[in-house]
Structure 1
């Protein structure tokens, strides 16, 4: 990354960082998209089973990955303040933490999975598919969290094209394995939705190993001496990483988990409604990769500028990123409004399911506009290392307001399943307003403190 002196230069560097991250996030999201899409083509029960399994797994995966992503602002600040020699130690601590997190997830998941699924009112076949899907994907947990740390370091150095390259390799691997394992082509076992879990686990190992080769052999990572010297666990480094990472992780968890909670609450509806709801959420999550990518870019750029003491530049990047996300959200809203039937047809061949998906996508228009404001704003706050208030705001907006409103509307009005979506819209809108207010306060306070 380079210091910039004009808006034109900032726009160029912003796009240079953003576009590879966007392609990377879309490719990662496409893995889940193809898991859901191809499982749906196999059968409605498989679509519902993978939907339930994904709803349980994604909040845990994204929340814990968010904790590990705390390495991004740490490395950005180190590079901005020219403390390059400290990067290798911090990245190694992130790897130690990822291993501990992986083991903890495997132990707790093994104990809790069956009771959680038994608690839900699922058809036996759907419950069995969800269980076996999650058991299969668990074999990829260690490399997935390890890759999160490595990728966070790569991106923090501004080398986002490397992450893009690795992920673009992974996508055809995942789709190809889905084709073989879901449908049983070329003599492979016909596993249905469970095959999607096996394919994802293998894919996680592939991207982790490729990433390790890159950072060990290629510049500028090689000059940082990453993984060339043993660094024992350091409680002090863990404390710094967790201080930043835990609020980030919980913020992401609260946002993603509320969608999963809605899916779990909707288990009282029939299988067709569950499948349609999850298909709509899946596509909306793919669109969410746009503001999420802008968020990650802003964390890198604002962290670099604030670490260097260039507060005016950090502020300009924030305005640029949030404005870009808002404009793009209006464009994606048009896609959902005018192409909803075509999108729904990607997930199912059954007319009843397609009709329900199309209805859910109309509601998705409104909450993805709120996401376009809230998510990049969180990226700016992370760049300033101001993370705890955002986590509190997300909890209040999504869980204290959004989810209860959705439950009340779905249970005590004629809206039914659509009531949950109105609750999501309400929570996301309130969250966006509160996060913007927090950013204004931080920028006003941060300038005199730095001075």
Structure 2
């Protein structure tokens, strides 16, 4: 069935209505890390290094857990499309058991992970401070996952603005808590970098409490009986969340670890290369928040359509979303091509760093469209509850193609930073092609065909 321009415009508007608050939430959440970095940098280089190292260890663990919980998005969106309201409430209650299952090992891992820093030959002075930072932030693990789980639940039901407002409040709480705990105000001891960890835990608790309170009082959610009494874990629902969520968590972790590996290799080239890479990747990460937010909305729209029993609608809505992701990233690519010097001048005045950073921004412009297509396609597949094959695709794209190509060109052939970034471009492009090919293949048939994958 062919769709008119009016249909495409209407779907695009609906997607942006759902996705815009998610994009804002992602960008505001980046502000939390930015605030921590700036405030730690005002203390000392040692405190800043401890926060950077601690965060580099914390983020892959947190990303894995949070990405696993995203499974609730397509689950409830499909139930919403099918108008199975009771199943939505049951899924929400069972999500809390999954949160508990994830948070306990994550908590203990963060408190006993200093050995990794020794293994990576981190400067000895940094290790005890970074270790204490991780112990402090570990207290926020459970509330972080409660907040994240409820957020993805709400986004699966197209309720996306509350997370944005809570994120704004969280940013203000973070600034205040950092100020008091890092600098020793209001009678508290001066905790430095460790205070940043405790501040983050306080922020996570704030987000969780506010979102739980909102969910309990939001009238449209009353029909789901989310807070009805439960006898305990119901493995039918938990298994479904794990089946969808774990591959999604692994996929997201593989992408994060690829960029982390490239950052480490940059450090082996030179200080200037590492600094330029950090600037360029920071810009690219900010741009990426747009299609990332849209991909969550795509998952909801595709899942809702499938719940209604229409693969055709799922296909249409998925490809409209993917097209918007590509369109937005085309605009960001143009921006990076036209104004790299202006963007870099915000970050550094060092001419050598700026020269390398500008060349990397040109390369970032090249992979903008690939990045938009891969995350859009991945989001569409997630809406179909299809995450296992995409996990394999990400492994092949990032670790069998992207990393080896980057290592060969950047290190072995001695091309340098640009060679490493060619690896990133290669991996993202392969992922973009394969994710979209799979979504196209899965949605060509009917519901019976879809269930066979």
Using structure 2 for the length normalisation, give the TM-score.
Answer: 0.89
Number of aligned pairs?
446
Q: Pairwise mapping of residues 256-295 of structure 1 onto structure 2 (< 5 A)?
A: 256-268=256-268, 273-295=273-295
Compared CA separation, residues 110 and 197, structure 1 to 2 (3 A):
closer
| Match in the other structure for 1:100 | 101
- Deviation of 1:372 after TM superposition, in Å, equals 0.5
- CA root-mean-square deviation: 2.8
| Match in the other structure for 1:396 | 396
Superimposed CA distance per residue, residues 315-344 of structure 1 (whole angstroms, 9 cap, x where no aligned partner):
221222111111211222234344445544
| Match in the other structure for 1:58 | 59
Matching of residue 30 in structure 1 with residue 31 in structure 2: yes
CA distance in structure 2 between the aligned counterparts of 1:115 and 1:386, rounded to whole angstroms = 36
Q: Is the 8 A contact 2:247 2:391 kept in 1?
A: yes
Superimposed CA distance per residue, residues 342-371 of structure 1 (whole angstroms, 9 cap, x where no aligned partner):
544555676666665555434332333321
- Deviation of 1:68 after TM superposition, in Å, equals 1.1
CA distance in structure 1 between the aligned counterparts of 2:194 and 2:271, rounded to whole angstroms = 18
| Match in the other structure for 1:207 | 207
- Deviation of 1:416 after TM superposition, in Å, equals 3.2
| Match in the other structure for 1:324 | 324
| Match in the other structure for 2:8 | 7
Q: Is the 8 A contact 1:44 1:272 kept in 2?
A: no
Q: Is the 8 A contact 2:85 2:223 kept in 1?
A: no
My pick for the range that moved more, 300-309 or 40-49, is 40-49
| Match in the other structure for 1:131 | 131
Q: Secondary structure at the match of 1:331?
A: helix
Q: Secondary structure at the match of 2:220?
A: coil
Q: Is the 8 A contact 1:48 1:271 kept in 2?
A: no
- Deviation of 1:145 after TM superposition, in Å, equals 0.9
CA distance in structure 2 between the aligned counterparts of 1:435 and 1:413, rounded to whole angstroms = 30
Q: Is the 8 A contact 1:20 1:164 kept in 2?
A: yes
CA distance in structure 2 between the aligned counterparts of 1:370 and 1:183, rounded to whole angstroms = 43
Q: Is the 8 A contact 2:19 2:297 kept in 1?
A: yes
Structure 2 unaligned residues grouped into runs of 5+? 1-5
| Match in the other structure for 1:72 | 73
| Match in the other structure for 1:445 | 445
- Deviation of 1:248 after TM superposition, in Å, equals 1.4
CA distance in structure 2 between the aligned counterparts of 1:81 and 1:153, rounded to whole angstroms = 16
Structure 1 unaligned residues grouped into runs of 5+? none
Q: Pairwise mapping of residues 149-164 of structure 1 onto structure 2 (< 5 A)?
A: 149-164=149-164
- Deviation of 1:17 after TM superposition, in Å, equals 0.7
Using structure 1 for the length normalisation, give the TM-score.
Answer: 0.89
Q: Is the 8 A contact 1:407 1:420 kept in 2?
A: yes
| Match in the other structure for 1:223 | 223
Superimposed CA distance per residue, residues 407-447 of structure 1 (whole angstroms, 9 cap, x where no aligned partner):
22332233334433221121111111111111111111346
Compared CA separation, residues 83 and 328, structure 1 to 2 (3 A):
same
